[in-house]
Chain A
Amino acid sequence: MAKFRGAIVVDTESCKGCNLCVVACPTHVIELNTDVNGKGYHYSYMKNPTSCIGCANCGLVCPDSVITVYKKAIDK
Chain B
Amino acid sequence: MELTDIIKAENIVSQKSKLITENVMHYCPGCTHGVVHKLLAEIIEELDIQEKTIGVSPVGCAVFAYNYLDIDWSQAAHGRAPAVATAISRLQPEKYVFTYQGDGDLASIGCAEIMHACNRGENIVVIFVNNAIYGMTGGQMSPTTLLGQVTSTTPHGRDEKLNGFPIKITELLAQLDGTCYVTRQSADTPGAIRKTKKAITKAFQNTRLAKGVSIVEIVGTCSSGWKMSPVASNEWMREHMFKKYPIGDIKDI
Q: Would you call A69 and B3 a contact (CB within 8 A)?
A: no
Instruction: Write the nearest CB–CB distance from A62 to chain B, whole angstroms.
Output: 8
Instruction: Write the nearest CB–CB distance from B137 to chain A, whole angstroms.
Output: 21
Q: Please indicate the chain B residues that have their CB under 8 angstroms from the CB of A57 in the complex.
A: 190
Q: Please indicate the chain A residues that have their CB under 8 angstroms from the CB of B239 in the complex.
A: none
Q: Please indicate the chain A residues that have their CB under 8 angstroms from the CB of B24 in the complex.
A: 14, 64
Q: Name A's interface SS.
A: mixed
- Mark interface residues in B25-50 (1 if CB within 8 Å of A CB, else 0): 10111111111001000000000000
How many chain-B residues does the 8 Å CB contact rule pick out?
35
- Most chain-B CB neighbours within 10 Å: which of A16, A69, A71? A16
Q: Which of A14, A60, A68 contacts B190 (CB 8 A)?
A: A60
Instruction: Write the nearest CB–CB distance from B209 to chain A, whole angstroms.
Output: 28
Q: Which residue of A has the minimal Cβ distance to B24? A: A14
Q: With A7-B7, A16-B29, A72-B6 known to touch, is A59 a contact of B14 (CB < 8 Å)?
A: yes
Q: Please indicate the chain A residues that have their CB under 8 angstroms from the CB of B3 in the complex.
A: 7, 49
Complexed CA–CA distance, A66 and B230 (Å)? 17
Q: Does B175 contact A (CB under 8 A)?
A: no
Q: Would you call A64 and B7 a contact (CB within 8 A)?
A: no
Q: Would you call B15 and A59 a contact (CB within 8 A)?
A: yes
Q: Which of A20, A23, A69, A74 contacts B13 (CB 8 A)?
A: A69
Q: Does A51 contact B (CB under 8 A)?
A: no
Q: Which residue of A has the minimal Cβ distance to B22? A: A14
Q: Which residue of B has the minimal Cβ distance to A68? A: B15
Q: Name B's interface SS.
A: mixed
Instruction: Write the nearest CB–CB distance from A9 to chain B, whole angstroms.
Output: 6
Complexed CA–CA distance, A54 and B13 (Å)? 8
How many chain-A residues does the 8 Å CB contact rule pick out?
33
Complexed CA–CA distance, A16 and B230 (Å)? 11
Q: With A19-B230, A24-B190, A63-B33 known to touch, is A70 a contact of B13 (CB < 8 Å)?
A: yes
Complexed CA–CA distance, A69 and B35 (Å)? 16
Other A-B contacts than A24-B189, A60-B14, A69-B14, 12 sampled, CB-CB below 8 A, are: A7-B7, A19-B231, A20-B230, A54-B6, A59-B13, A60-B194, A62-B34, A62-B38, A63-B25, A64-B25, A65-B20, A71-B13
| Sample (30) of A-B pairs whose CB atoms are under 8 Å apart | A5-B1, A16-B29, A17-B29, A18-B30, A18-B230, A49-B3, A59-B13, A59-B15, A61-B35, A61-B190, A63-B25, A63-B27, A63-B30, A63-B32, A64-B25, A66-B16, A68-B12, A68-B14, A68-B15, A69-B13, A69-B14, A70-B7, A71-B6, A71-B11, A71-B13, A72-B6, A72-B8, A72-B11, A74-B1, A75-B1
Chain A: residues with CB nearer than 8 A to chain B? 5-7, 9, 14, 16-20, 23-24, 41, 49, 54, 56-57, 59-72, 74-75
Chain B: residues with CB nearer than 8 A to chain A? 1, 3, 5-8, 11-17, 20, 24-25, 27-35, 38, 189-190, 193-194, 223, 229-231, 234
Give 10 closest A-B pairs by Cβ, nearest first: A63-B34, A18-B30, A59-B14, A16-B29, A18-B29, A56-B14, A69-B14, A65-B16, A70-B11, A7-B6
